[in-house]
Amino acid sequence: MNKSSINPSGGRRHLLSAIAASLVASAMQGSLQAQAVSNRLFAENFETLPLGPNREESRAGLEVWSGTPPTGWLLDNSQMPGFGTPNDGMVEWAGWTFANKDWWVGAAGNQRRAEWSFGNGTVMVADPDEWDDAAHAKGLFNSYISLPEINVKGAAANSLVLAFDSTWRPEAFDDGGANWPVDENGRPINHQNGVVDVAFDGGNTNRVVNFDSDSESPNFKKDVDFINESVVVPLNNPAGATSMKVRFGMLTAANDWWWAVDNIAVGVPPLLSSVTGNGVAVTNRIVEALGKTVNTSAGVTVTIGGKTVTPVEVTRDLVNDNYPESERVFVSHTGTQVFAPRSRVPVVVRFTDNTGRVVQETGEFIAPGYMSVSSTPKTITAVLTDAVWMTVKESAGVKLELNGTAITGATVKRVDNTVVVTYASPSLIPSGSRHTLKATYTTATGQELVETVGFTAATYATLSADLATAVGTGTEAGMNWRTHQLAAGRPGGTVLSAAELQLSGSYGASEHDASGEVGGIFKIDYVNFDQASGEAGNFKASGAGELAVNDEAVPGIPGLNGSTDNIVGEVLTFVEVPAAGVYTMVVNSDDGFQVSVGTTNNVKSQVLGEFNGGRGSSDTAFYFEATKAGVYLFRLLWMEGGGGANVEWFTVNADGTRALVNGTQAGALRTFRRRTVAEPGGGGGTPTLAFTGIVRNANGSITLTWTGGGTLQTSPSINGPWTDVAGAVSPLTVTPDQASQFARLRR
């Protein structure tokens, strides 16, 4: 066991020697036969809580988040600004929520969250820093969550403790202005406050934990020092109490940092506070407090999956210098057989306390998995990743079952520390469909493992054949590009709806350098732009093979004011799709983009792919199916906020090589500036009446876009009555003032 990972703060530690353990072995067999009791009255590690997909966070995941607490818990978000409306901030973090710790750390950009080593698997999170990444009503983050009522009948007075693992990073008095409440002098009042309240038998509430970010408060817990804590606090339960209620609160926070909690336990010490494990090892942490300790000389046994295991290593450790009266006893076992991937592993720990009582506590943990699954419209790829304790033996092969049916013909290939299994489907996998993939594989030591993973198939659009004209109907090779630049930041932020408004001139005239335009258009060959002609994305001067293509400056940038910020670009081009089939298209961008296909009446008849927000240079891949070869009108909308700016547009060939759209690389799709024939449907007549976009903006407003003119009507009910919105034209931005509202278009 690597004990440095148990105690990163370097607290005191001493290991009970193997010799001492041997000497007490016979005594242990006798003493532990006595009738055992459990000291825990309540325990929750959230590992059995079902998690679902991300909602608004840009980091995707299938089983990563939930806003629903465990059964019997009560969540109170009544004081969260805008809660229950579209104007509620980032929905994943609107109040106390639950998330896979690793996904939370990645979604939030780490910022030291990863230093919380005591948190494991699913954790309970209050993160106002991430919550404020989306627009919300004015107000401060205030959320409570209550545990189920705990039966404490028979507990001696002042015998109970609350134990939990915690990560706390605070901020205070730094968020004022129009977005946050202030005092009478206009000064910020936010001061992140974490509390735990306890009440016995319906009586008065006692605050047993009070973490404050106010440096003048006696309860001040300063930044960084409390990122990884194991907390234990006396509950001072009165004599004769029969029930107890506990609630956690995160209060009066603005765009502050976070508080997250895991492994909550209530009982009489010593008691088991957490069970964690990897693929072959288990570690149990036992709380010692109030003078109640584990008599380690009397022996400790561990049962895993109904089988008593040896050897058992016992370590006593002060894990939290802030609670000098409390220690943890770590009881660990490392075996040779790998636990079944993703299985629930039951654990029983039996020990004697310093009063002679025999204590038996039960717990469980979720064993790690080693397989991840992804798909394209035609392939399924499973990646098995080695661990320190487990290496996949690829030469033994990998058996696959898709939705319960065996599949054959998959390729198995080792790539560094992974084994990649690729299956080519004989038919298109339905867009967005849900599946399970079961893999049976063998370790280097000969152990057979079985692992099942659910996944969602890649989404893709099927191009409407009505949008195509015949192959060969494009003329004048190249693309048409428009640039629009603002002198100041885009009022609506770095979102696609605001980019559309900027491009339409709603935010004012453009300040780009128009000297290279012809009729308001820059004629370009392909899209591989960086604001400073620097190297960005995949295609660049230093690239290898087909990727060795110089980045060019964004057309018209730097602008007349010398700025390279606040840009929106639009490409309109006729793409020749040479054959029916599935195509992989990618946009690398800093910041967001949208690719659509349509006609001159409706350039967004079908949206194929997008990233709606700000980011550094990153790829977004998407797919489309063409059932008819032909020439289609494609549109690329790209937006930039501040800082870096780049965009490139390309496809991926079947062999994995890449080609800029209209580039010179093998497999590149050809593009044209004009058609030699009329638009599908004649390019005239009555355009389609349809909504093309309903987007929530960073400031809480909603932008509606539609095609075909018509009259916009709204109603508080889907059944009416409907009222015309006087003077409404697309795009229209409104600020919600009702809990729900419906809209429709009519001729």
The Cα-based distances of 446 to 389, 400, 443 in angstroms read 13, 18, 5
pLDDT at residue 701, rounded to an integer: 66
Residues pairing with 733 in the sheet: 703
- Among 105-119, 482-496, 550-564, 627-641, whose mean pLDDT is lowest? 482-496
Distances (CA, A) of 533 to 355, 537, 647, 659: 75, 12, 11, 20
Task: Please determine, for residue 62, whether its predicted confidence score (pLDDT) is greater than 90.
Answer: no
pLDDT tier, 315 (very low <50, low <70, confident <90, very high otherwise): very high
Banded pLDDT at 636 (limits 50, 70, 90):
very high
User: How far is residue 426 from each of residues 211, 378, 404, measured CA to CA in Å?
Assistant: 58, 8, 17
Q: In degrees rounded to 5, what are phi and psi of residue 203?
A: -85, -160
Indicate if the alpha-carbon torsion angle 447, 448, 453, 457 is positive or negative: positive
Nearest 10 degrees: Cα torsion 680, 682, 684, 690: -30
> So where are the chain's domains?
3-39+273-366, 65-267, 371-457, 463-683, 690-746
Q: For residue 686, what pLDDT is reported?
A: 44
> How distant, in Å, are the alpha carbons of 587, 653, 697 from that of 630?
22, 19, 36
| Alpha-carbon gap, residue 80 to 519, rounded angstroms | 51
Res. 699 pLDDT band, cuts 50 70 90: low
Percent of the chain, pLDDT > 70? 89
What confidence score (pLDDT) does residue 698 get?
Answer: 54
Alpha carbon separation from 378 to 423, 426, 583, 606, 728 (Å, rounded): 9, 8, 10, 21, 44
Domain 463-683 has CATH 2.60.120.1560: yes
d(CA 610, CA 596): 9
Residue 477 has pLDDT above 50, yes or no: yes
Measured distance between the N- and C-terminal CA atoms of the chain, rounded to whole angstroms: 73
Domain 371-457: state its class: mainly beta
Q: Express as a percent the part of the chain with pLDDT over 90.
A: 74
pLDDT band of residue 642 (cuts 50, 70, 90) is: confident
Average pLDDT, whole number, for the chain?
89
Q: Which residues pair with 454 in a beta bridge?
A: 436
Contact indicator for 678, 617 with CB cutoff of 8 Å:
no
- Give CA torsion, residues 122, 126, 127, 131, to 10 deg: 110
Query: Which CATH architecture does the domain made up of 3-39+273-366 adopt?
Result: Sandwich (2.60)
The domain 65-267 having CATH identifier 2.60.120.260: the answer here is: yes
- pLDDT at position 739: 58
pLDDT in tens, 378-398: 999 999 999 999 999 999 999
Confidence band for 26, pLDDT divided at 50, 70 and 90: very low
pLDDT beyond 80 at 18: no
Mapped onto helix, strand or coil, the DSSP state of residue 221 is: coil
The pLDDT value recorded for residue 696 is: 62
Q: Which residues, in sequence order, are CB contacts of 451 under 8 Å at separation 6+?
A: 341, 342, 369, 370, 371, 438, 439, 441
Q: Does 700 score more than 80 pLDDT?
A: no
Provide mean pLDDT across the span 208-237. 94
Is residue 206 pLDDT above 50, yes or no? yes
Task: Report the DSSP beta bridge partners of residue 275.
Answer: 284
pLDDT one-digit tens code per residue, 131-177:
998 888 999 999 999 999 999 999 999 999 999 999 999 999 999 87
Question: Position of tokens 């559309």?
Answer: 500
* Domain 371-457 shares a fold with domain 463-683: no
Residue 141's Cβ-side half-sphere holds a number of Cα atoms within 13 Å equal to: 35
